[in-house]
Copies of this chain bind each other. A is one copy, B any other.
Amino acid sequence: MKLWSANVGQPVGMCPVRGVLDKISDKWSMLLVMTLATGPKRFNQLRRDVPDISQKMLTQTLRDLQRDGMVSRQVFDTKPPSVEYRLTPLGESIILPFGHLIAWANEHLPTIDQARTEFDKAA
Chain A residues with a Cβ under 8 A of chain B: 1, 3, 8-9, 11, 14, 16-18, 20-22, 24-27, 30-31, 34-35, 37, 51-52, 66-69, 90, 93-94, 96-106, 108-109, 111-112, 114-116, 119-120
Q: For the complex, what is the distance from the CA of A111 to the CA of B112, rounded to whole Å?
A: 36
**Within 8 Å CB of A14, what residues of B?**
51-52
Q: State whether A3 touches B111 (Cβ < 8 A).
A: no
Contact B30 A115 (CB under 8 A): no
Interface of A (DSSP majority class) = helix
Name the CB-closest residue of B to A118: B69
Q: Which residue of B lies closest to A12 (CB)?
A: B52
**Interface contacts beyond A24-B105, A69-B111, A97-B104: sample of 17 additional A-B pairs, CB < 8 Å, sorted by A:** A1-B34, A1-B99, A9-B51, A14-B51, A16-B109, A17-B105, A17-B109, A20-B109, A21-B30, A21-B101, A69-B119, A90-B108, A90-B111, A90-B115, A93-B104, A97-B100, A97-B101
